[in-house]
Structure 1
Amino acid sequence: MQNNIISGLFVGQNLVTLKEVDSTNNFLKNLLSNSKPVPEGTVIMAESQYAGRGQRDNVWHAEAGKNLTFSLLLNPVFIPVAQQFDLTRVVSLGVFDALQPLLGDRLKIKWPNDIYCDSGKLGGMLIENMIQGGQLKSSVIGIGLNINQQNFGENTTNAVSLKQILHKDYDLRNILSQICSYIEVYYLHVKAGRIDLVRDLYQSRLYWLNEVRDFRSNDNKFTGKIIRVMDNGLLVVEREGTEESYNLKEIEFLNK
C-alpha cells in the first residue's frame, strides 16, 4: 500500500497505483477476498486497464496514461439496502463537483451515474455492492473519466474528454484528489442523515431534467420528460400526461 497526499479524512488516503490491470474493480474485490483487512477509502488507480466495465455489461476502453481509471472502497453499513441508490448519488455528485469548476453549466449527471458535458459522455461508474445479513457491507466503486484522450473508437460515438472540450492537458492526480475529497463530503452528509440535501442536489443536476426528449422502452420510441428520481433510484418520466417509472434496463436515452 502506498501513502498519498490526497486531503481529507479517509477517501484516497490509501492509494495503490498499478501500471496495468484487467479491471480496478476486480483487483479491489480480490484484495477484499484476502484475509488482511482493506481500509475504507482505499483507492486503486491504474494507468491502463484492458477489461474495464460499465453499466449494462459495456466494456470501457481507455488509452493508457491519458485518463482516470480507478476504484474506491466504501463500507456504507449505515445506508439501508432499499436506499442503496443514495450511494450512486454520493459518487455522482462527488465527480460532478470536481469537474464543475472547469465545465460550469455544461456539466450534467445522466441518470443513473454517467457524467455528461453537453451531449458528450465524459465518463461513468460501476458500483458493486456486497450485501451481508440484510445490510450493505461494502461497495466497490469503479470510476472512469476521459481526461486527456483525444481519439475514441467508432463504437463510442458520444465519448468526449476534457482535453477535447478545453484544449489542454490536465493532471490526473489533481482531479483524482478533488473527486476523493468531494465524494467524502457527500458520503459524510448521508452518514449524518442529510439525505434530502444529497437527493435534491443530485436531481437538480440531472441531464434532460424537465426537457421534452426522445426515449426508447420495450423497443418503442416515445417522447417524454424527466420529472424526478424516486428515493429508490427509479427514473420518473412523464409521457402522454401520465408518469411512468423505469429502472436502468427499462429505458434508453435517444441522444441522436
Structure 2
Amino acid sequence: MQNNTFSTLFVGQNLIKLSAVDSTNNFLKSMVSNSEPLPEGTVIMAENQYAGRGQVESNWHVEPGKNLTFSILLYPEFLAPAAQFTLNMAVSVAIQHALKTLTGEGLTIKWPNDIYFGTKKIGGILIENVLSGNRIKASIIGIGINVNQEVFEAGLEDRAGSVYQILHQHVNLISLLAQICSHIEVRYLKLRAGNYKILREEYLNFLYRFNIKAPYRQNGQIIEGKIVDVSDTGFLSMETGSGIMSYNFKEIEFI
C-alpha cells in the first residue's frame, strides 16, 4: 500500500505491512523472483517474523509487535559486485544516524553488520544481492532492530539490548522506521553519486573496537589485534603480532 507519511523520495513510499511471515527477506525475494513490478524503495514490514535470519544463516529472534523487522528493495545496478559491501556500509551508517537521535552516544557497528550499544547487540543487517552477469540486479536489505522489547530470554540478556532498555520508554515503531528509511535514502544516494570515501570514513568512525587492541579467537587460538580497516569487499584488516592480516566473515571471532 502507498504510504504518504514518510518524507522520502522513494524509500518507504511503497510500504507493505504483514502481520506474520517467516522472513521479510524471503517474502521480498519471492516477490522479486515472481517478476512482480515493485518500485525501488519498497519496504516489507512484519509485526511477527518467526524465522528471521542473520549473517551466514544465524537466527534472529524477536518478540512479536515490539520490534522493527523489515526489508527494503533497492536496485543498485551502478554498483560493481566486487564493491557490494559498500552498500552494507551505507545502510549501517544510516541506521547509526537514525538511532543516535534517540540514544545519543554509545552506538557502534560491530563488523560486519551488527548494531551495538555498549557491549549489547540491538540490531542486525542481512543484505542479499540478486546478481545478473557482472551487475547487481537487486538488493534485498533485511533489518532487525530491538526497539520496545523490555526483557530477553535466558542466555541472551547479557548479549542483547533494546532501545527501550536504553531510554526506559517506548518508541513509536512507524516513526522510527520513517527515520531509518530517510537516512538510508540519503546514504544510498551518496553511494549512487560515487561518494564511497565519505561513507567509508563514517563506517570506520562508528566501527566497534576500531584502532583498539583487543583479544580475538582465530582458528581456536586467542590473538591480540587492532582493527585498522575494512575493504570494499568486506574483509577486515587487523594489525597483529604477525603483521596486517585480512579476515573474511566468520574467520575471526570477537571475545
How far off its partner does 1:119 sit?
A: 0.3
* Post-superposition CA distance 1:175-206 (Å, at most 9, x none): 10011000000110011111111111111110
* Post-superposition CA distance 1:46-70 (Å, at most 9, x none): 0001100001211111111100000
Conservation of the 8 A alpha-carbon contact between 1:149 and 1:161: yes
Conservation of the 8 A alpha-carbon contact between 1:4 and 1:15: no
1:204 partner letter: N
Quote the residue 1:182 is aligned against: 183
Q: Distance in 2 between matches of 1:107 and 1:54?
A: 19
Quote the residue 2:94 is aligned against: 94
Q: Does structure 1 residue 147 correspond to structure 2 residue 147?
A: yes
TM-score (norm 1): 0.96
* Post-superposition CA distance 1:71-126 (Å, at most 9, x none): 00000000111100000011101111100122222011111111000001011011
Quote the residue 1:196 is aligned against: 197
* Post-superposition CA distance 1:131-182 (Å, at most 9, x none): 1011101001100000000121234340000111110000001110011000
Give the RMSD, CA atoms, in angstroms. Answer: 1.1
Q: Does structure 1 residue 3 correspond to structure 2 residue 8?
A: no
How far off its partner does 1:36 sit?
A: 2.6
Q: Distance in 2 between matches of 1:71 and 1:33?
A: 15
Q: Give matches, 1:97-176, under 5 Å.
A: 97-156=97-156, 157-176=158-177
How far off its partner does 1:241 sit?
A: 5.5
Q: Distance in 2 between matches of 1:214 and 1:149?
A: 31
1:11 partner letter: V
152-161 or 244-253, larger mean C-alpha shift:
152-161
Q: Distance in 2 between matches of 1:35 and 1:136?
A: 16
Q: Distance in 2 between matches of 1:195 and 1:130?
A: 21
Quote the residue 1:239 is aligned against: 240
Q: Distance in 2 between matches of 1:183 and 1:126?
A: 14
Q: Distance in 1 between matches of 2:168 and 2:178?
A: 22
Q: Distance in 1 between matches of 2:35 and 2:161?
A: 40
2:128 partner letter: E
1:179 partner letter: I
Q: Distance in 2 between matches of 1:252 and 1:140?
A: 26
Q: Distance in 1 between matches of 2:79 and 2:155?
A: 37
Quote the residue 2:35 is aligned against: 35
2:65 partner letter: G
Q: Distance in 2 between matches of 1:3 and 1:146?
A: 23
Q: Distance in 2 between matches of 1:34 and 1:2?
A: 21
Give the gaps of 5 or more residues in structure 2.
none
Tell me the secondary structure at the aligned position of residue 248 of structure 1: coil
2:71 partner letter: S
Size of the alignment, in residue pairs? 254
Tell me the secondary structure at the aligned position of residue 152 of structure 2: coil
Give the gaps of 5 or more residues in structure 1.
none
Task: Indicate the percent of aligned positions where both proteins have the same amino acid.
Answer: 53
